[in-house]
Structure 1
Amino acid sequence: MTDGHIGGSEFDRDTAVRPREPGVFDADISAGWSISAAINGGYLKAMLGRALGRTLPHPDPFTVTAHYLTATRPGPAVIRTSVARTGNTLSTGSASLFQTGEDGREVERIRLLGTYGDLDALPADVRTAVKPPQMPPYEHCVGVDQAPADPRPAGQVEMLHRLASRLDPATVGWALGKPSGRGEIRGWFAFADGRDADPLALLLIGDAMPPTAFDLGLSGWVPTVELTTHVRARPAPGPLRVAIGTRNLAGGFLEEDVEIWDSADRMVAQSRQLARALLA
C-alpha cells in the first residue's frame, strides 16, 4: 500500500502529508533531501505521489509523470489533488504542489499526473529481453559519499546523508577526473536507515543517483524538467540495482533512462527524465 510505512523512516516522515479537506493536503518540504540549493525532484515526486495515492481508490502508482515548473524551497507547502477517472482496475488523477512566493501569492511548483492500480492483482507472467545490470556485490562498490573529487561537495548534498547507496567502480571515473564519455552510471540504491523500497520509494529512486552528466564530463547542476516513472512490480527486500544511461545531449538538454532491479532479478521500475545540462 502506498501509505504503509508512514512514521517508520526518515523518507516516510519527510514525505508525509496531512489532510486539510478533501483533495487538499499540507506538507513540509525537508531540506534534508537537497542537492546544493535545490530540492531533489524524486523526493518531491514521491511526496505528491503519496498525496495522490490517498485521493485515488487504488493503492499503487503504475505510471506517474511530474513537470517541475518553479524551484521548490524548504518549508510549508500545499498539495491539491483531483480525480480524473476511476475504474475497476485503474484510476487516474493529478496533484499540484504550491508554495507562497516572495510577493505573498501562491506559486505552483510541480504538477503531476498519475495512474494507480493494485500491483498485487497483476498476473505473474513475465516476458522480457532485458537482463539485470552486471556489477560487483553491494559491499564491493563505492559509497556515494566516499567518491573523491566529487564535482558537488558532499557537504552540500544533504540527500547523501539519507542514503546508503553504492556505485559500480567501473562507472565512477568521473569522480577521479576521468569521465568515460559514455553517459553511464550503475550502482546499488539503499536507504541509510534500512527502510526497504516500496512502490512509492521507486518514484524517488529514478532521480536519486548521481547524474549521467558527470560521466559525460559535466560538473554543473542538472535540473529536472520532466520525470516519468513506470512501476512494474513491488520490490523484494534488499538493495536495488540501478542502471542509468544517456544517449543524447543536445541543445543544452539530456535524457536519463533508468532501470531499477530488485533482489529477485525483476525489473521493478523504469523511468525517463528530461533535464537541462548546465555547466558549473
Structure 2
Amino acid sequence: MRVLYGTAMAQAVQASIGDSEFDRDTALTPRTPGVYDAELSAGWTIMRAVNGGYLLALLGRALGDALPHPDPFTVSAHYLSASRPGPAVIRTEAVRSGGSLSTGQASLFQYDKDGTEVERIRLLATYGDLDKLPAEVRTPAAPPPFPPYEKCLGASDGPRPPIPGGSEILDRLNIRLDPATAGWAVGAPSGKGEMRGWFSLADGRDADPLSLLLTVDALPPTAFELGIKGWTPTVELTVHIRRRPAPGPLRVALTTRNAAGGFLEEDAEVWDSENRLVAQSRQLAKMPAGR
C-alpha cells in the first residue's frame, strides 16, 4: 500500500543504522528457532492499514536472522489481507542454503477478534552477501533526470492533503517530489504514469539493503498522476537489491505503462548518491474502487 505525500520530522541528531525509529519498529523477539514475535507500529500506517514496504522490511529482517547470508537479493511477497497495528508473529523456513546464496520463506500472522489466526503476507526470498559481489557493471541504465533537491516539492511547499483514517507514516519520511510528477497535488495530474522524488527517512538514518525494501513502496502511487485517487493496495511486490547504497538521499523513479481491468503495475528504480542503481521492483496493485 502506498504513501500519499511526504514530510520531514525535525531531528536534533541524525539517527544511525541500528539506532533509529525504523530499526526499533522492525525489531523482533525470537520465540523459538525461526519464529519471531513482532509489534506492528501504528507509526507506519496509512488509511488505518500498515504500509506494505514496512511489512516487507519486517519480514526481511526475520529472514536475515534465520538464513546464513545477511542481505536480501530478491524478495517476492503476496499480500493476503490488510495488516493492522498490534501484535504479530512471523514464521520463517529455510528452503535451501548454498555457498553464496540461501533461500527462505516467511509469513506474518495476526489474530482476528475471535482468536482466529490470519495470514497477512507471505514471501519467498533469496539472500547473499552484497559485499562479495564483483565490482564490474555493464549497463545502459542511467539515473532519470531529476531537478536538484532544493527545486523539488516537500511538505513545507503546500498543505498536506487530508487522508481518511490517518497518515502517521508521513511523519517518518522525507520525500521531495519532482514538480513534473506532482500535478495531482493541486488537482492537475499529468496523465502520465510517472512519479519521481528524493527519498530519505525523516530521522536522517542512511539507507541500507533492509530499508530499501521500504523505499520502493514509499512514494505516492503513479495512479495519482493518472488521475486515479484513493487507496491502491498492493497485491504482489517483487524487489531486487543490487548494491549496498551509499550514504545520502536516494532518487526514486516509478512508472506505470498499463492500468487496465482494475489493476496496474508499477516499476521502481532506486538510485543512490553515487549514481548507482541500488534497487529495482515491480508490483501489481488494485486500482481504487468507485474512483
In which range does the TM-score fall when normalised by the shorter chain?
over 0.9
Displacement of 1:190 in angstroms is: 0.6
Displacement of 1:143 in angstroms is: 1.0
AA partner of residue 200 (structure 1): L
Structure 1 pair 211/178, CA: closer, same or farther in 2 (3 Å)?
A: same
Structure 2 residue corresponding to 1:5, chosen from 5, 17, 38 = 17
AA partner of residue 5 (structure 1): I
**Is the Cα contact below 8 Å between 1:236 and 1:264 reproduced in 2?**
yes
Whole-angstrom CA distance in 1 between matches of 2:176 and 2:274:
19
TM-score by length of 2: 0.91
Describe the SS at the equivalent of 1:165: strand
Structure 1 residue corresponding to 2:248, chosen from 234, 238, 241 = 238
In the alignment, structure 1 residue 122 sits paired with structure 2 residue 122: no
TM-score by length of 1: 0.95
**Is the Cα contact below 8 Å between 1:190 and 1:196 reproduced in 2?**
yes
AA partner of residue 76 (structure 2): T
Residue in structure 1 matched with residue 4 of structure 2 by the alignment: none
AA partner of residue 99 (structure 2): N
Runs of 4+ in structure 1 over 4 Å off: 144-149
Between stretches 139-148 and 191-200, larger displacement belongs to: 139-148
Residue in structure 2 matched with residue 228 of structure 1 by the alignment: 238
Residue in structure 2 matched with residue 168 of structure 1 by the alignment: 178
Describe the SS at the equivalent of 1:222: coil
1:96-118 CA deviation, whole Å, 9 max, x = no partner? 00011122111111001100000
Structure 1 pair 168/120, CA: closer, same or farther in 2 (3 Å)?
A: same
Displacement of 1:259 in angstroms is: 0.2
Whole-angstrom CA distance in 1 between matches of 2:259 and 2:156:
27
**Is the Cα contact below 8 Å between 1:43 and 1:204 reproduced in 2?**
yes
Residue in structure 2 matched with residue 46 of structure 1 by the alignment: 57
Gaps of 5+ in 1: none
1:114-164 CA deviation, whole Å, 9 max, x = no partner? 0000000000000111110111121221115744574x5398211110011
Describe the SS at the equivalent of 2:226: coil
Structure 1 pair 116/80, CA: closer, same or farther in 2 (3 Å)?
A: same
Whole-angstrom CA distance in 2 between matches of 1:154 and 1:241:
28
Whole-angstrom CA distance in 1 between matches of 2:133 and 2:177:
32
Structure 1 residue corresponding to 2:203, chosen from 182, 186, 193 = 193
**Is the Cα contact below 8 Å between 2:17 and 2:206 reproduced in 1?**
no
Displacement of 1:36 in angstroms is: 1.3
**Is the Cα contact below 8 Å between 1:145 and 1:154 reproduced in 2?**
no
Describe the SS at the equivalent of 1:93: strand
In the alignment, structure 1 residue 61 sits paired with structure 2 residue 72: yes
Residue in structure 1 matched with residue 8 of structure 2 by the alignment: none
Paired residues in the alignment total: 275
In the alignment, structure 1 residue 19 sits paired with structure 2 residue 20: no
**Is the Cα contact below 8 Å between 2:54 and 2:214 reproduced in 1?**
yes
Whole-angstrom CA distance in 2 between matches of 1:145 and 1:107:
40
AA partner of residue 18 (structure 1): T
Structure 2 residue corresponding to 1:216, chosen from 226, 237, 245 = 226
Describe the SS at the equivalent of 1:54: helix
Gaps of 5+ in 2: 1-15
Structure 1 pair 259/147, CA: closer, same or farther in 2 (3 Å)?
A: farther
Identical aligned pairs, as a percentage?
68
Residue in structure 2 matched with residue 83 of structure 1 by the alignment: 94
1:43-90 CA deviation, whole Å, 9 max, x = no partner? 000000000000000000000011100111100000000000000000
Structure 1 pair 180/149, CA: closer, same or farther in 2 (3 Å)?
A: farther
Structure 2 residue corresponding to 1:256, chosen from 266, 271, 282 = 266
1:2-60 CA deviation, whole Å, 9 max, x = no partner? xx933x00111111111111010000001111111111000000000000000000000
**Is the Cα contact below 8 Å between 1:154 and 1:160 reproduced in 2?**
no
Whole-angstrom CA distance in 1 between matches of 2:288 and 2:213:
24
Describe the SS at the equivalent of 1:85: strand
Structure 1 pair 101/145, CA: closer, same or farther in 2 (3 Å)?
A: farther
AA partner of residue 255 (structure 2): G
